Structure 1
Amino acid sequence: MPPTLFIFSLLIFFSSHAAALDFCVANLKGPQGPAGFSCKTPAKVTVNDFVFTALTKAGNTSNIIKAAVSPAFVAQFPGVNGLGLSIARLDLAPGGVIPMHTHPGASEILIVVQGYILAGFISSDNSVYLKTLKKGEVMVFPQGLLHFQVNAAGIPAIAFPSFSSPDPGLQILDFALFGNNLPTMLIEKTTFLDEAQIKKLKAVLGGTG
């Protein structure tokens, strides 16, 4: 085969496979494994797989924590599959709070776009890093560390947290302790809280035992 024809054949081969290597839009109808979702057939991918509009709407803050998180993770936004990132919208009504929690699969960076948010995290040596953020300010929360956000003023606050994973995971400390069937006696021994307080929190958060 002449060299020019060989090179031309290679170009055709690689160009025909390029789209498949550029991205892996999630096939949400397929199974999800540790590596994420399988890829949607490239021929069925459209621009809408890479656009997410739901974050334009405020979340419902009529709840016990007066807060709402609207995620654009892989389950809602298939285009982020395999890209190592995702985003969400955080709405905090006056008095609102996102309780102490962790994201086992990702670091988080938070940008405030309205209001004031008191945010902080606790390092593994129990050092506390705490700051009241205003519009345009950004704070980062390292992967796996306990952190929280609280509305720091009497006006609604809005922020957009972004994550270093399309599926960052979430564990809320209060629900881990009081929102399941972990026996009250064990919680009492491991947290030093009294039985009455534990049962009160279980009643509020839906726990039993």
Structure 2
Amino acid sequence: MARKLATIFVALLPILLAVASADSDPLLDFCVPDPGTNPIDLNRLASYPCKNPANLTASDFVFSGIKSPAQIPASTEFVGVAVNPVQFPGLHTLGMSFVRADFGPGGVNPPHYHPRATETALVVAGRIYSGFVDSSGRVFAKVLEEGEVMVFPRGMVHFQMNVGDSLATIFGSFNSENPGAVRIPATVFGSDIKVGLLEKAFGLSAKELERLKKKLGPK
């Protein structure tokens, strides 16, 4: 019996870990935070009281900020607009957030990952080369057409590029209200990691690293 229980536990362990690592389950139907006169701080959401439900309207649960594409910088041909409880307070405690990403021709969303969420990405316009890399280094990638969805497992490095000749748009959703984003190029070459370490790790010269740091470091 003990061996049988151990086998069942091992089989259930990935599920138990996934449940334990998700956003906390809500204790109320909803909780639109009331930060008073200050802007909402994403890292202090739990400290805000909920607005009185009697004073809420349908408008508290509607967001209109991503109906149109944002201005796409010519330097990157890519722009992403995140929507979490800071922009849309009605999301608070619901365990989700989302993003709109627009790509000019050739635009790239550089390799990055979300430490606290799995993402699904729906292509609503254009053609996007999209994929992720698993922990063994295997790449799962293909060109997505309009209407197709790809999933990026939590913590996996993923990327996207517009391979069409017109504007492309993706709507991404996350199973966390604060998924986080770690952008690989900026994190590695735009941070204060010692140049000597980066030279040995990537086989780059100090001059090459300095150029990358200027390009990818804080503006």
Whether TM-score is above 0.5 comes out as yes
- Native 8 Å contact 2:41 2:86 kept in 1: no
**Secondary structure of the residue that 1:56 maps to in structure 2?**
coil
> C-alpha distance in 1, partners of 2:177/2:74?
26
> C-alpha distance in 1, partners of 2:162/2:34?
37
> C-alpha distance in 2, partners of 1:111/1:72?
15
- Native 8 Å contact 2:125 2:146 kept in 1: yes
Shift of 1:183: 2.1
> C-alpha distance in 2, partners of 1:34/1:127?
37
Q: TM-score, normalised by structure 1?
A: 0.83
> C-alpha distance in 1, partners of 2:197/2:77?
30
- Native 8 Å contact 1:95 1:151 kept in 2: yes
Which of 202, 209, 214 in structure 2 is aligned with 1:198? 209
Q: Which residue of 2 aligns with 1:53?
A: 64
Report Cα offsets for 1:41-97 as digits up to 9, x if no partner. 324433222110011010121143211111111111111111111111110001100
Q: Which residue of 2 aligns with 1:160?
A: 171
1:79 aligns with 2:90: yes
Q: Structure 2 vs 1, CA of residues 27 and 94 (structure 1 numbering), >3 Å: closer, same or farther?
A: same
Q: Which residue of 2 aligns with 1:41?
A: 52
- Native 8 Å contact 1:181 1:207 kept in 2: no
Q: Number of residues paired by the alignment?
A: 189
- 2:103 aligned partner, one-letter code: L
- Structure 1 unaligned regions, length at least 5: 1-19
Q: Which residue of 1 aligns with 2:136?
A: 125
Q: Mean alpha-carbon deviation: is it higher for 22-31 or for 177-186?
A: 22-31
1:22 aligns with 2:29: yes
Which of 144, 152, 177 in structure 1 is aligned with 2:188? 177
Q: TM-score, normalised by structure 2?
A: 0.79
> C-alpha distance in 1, partners of 2:197/2:218?
13
Q: Structure 2 vs 1, CA of residues 166 and 63 (structure 1 numbering), >3 Å: closer, same or farther?
A: farther
Q: Mean alpha-carbon deviation: is it higher for 104-113 or for 178-187?
A: 178-187
> C-alpha distance in 2, partners of 1:37/1:154?
47
Q: Structure 2 vs 1, CA of residues 53 and 198 (structure 1 numbering), >3 Å: closer, same or farther?
A: same
**Secondary structure of the residue that 1:186 maps to in structure 2?**
helix
Shift of 1:131: 1.0
**Secondary structure of the residue that 1:104 maps to in structure 2?**
coil
**Secondary structure of the residue that 1:110 maps to in structure 2?**
strand
Q: Which residue of 2 aligns with 1:139?
A: 150
Shift of 1:206: 2.6
1:88 aligns with 2:99: yes
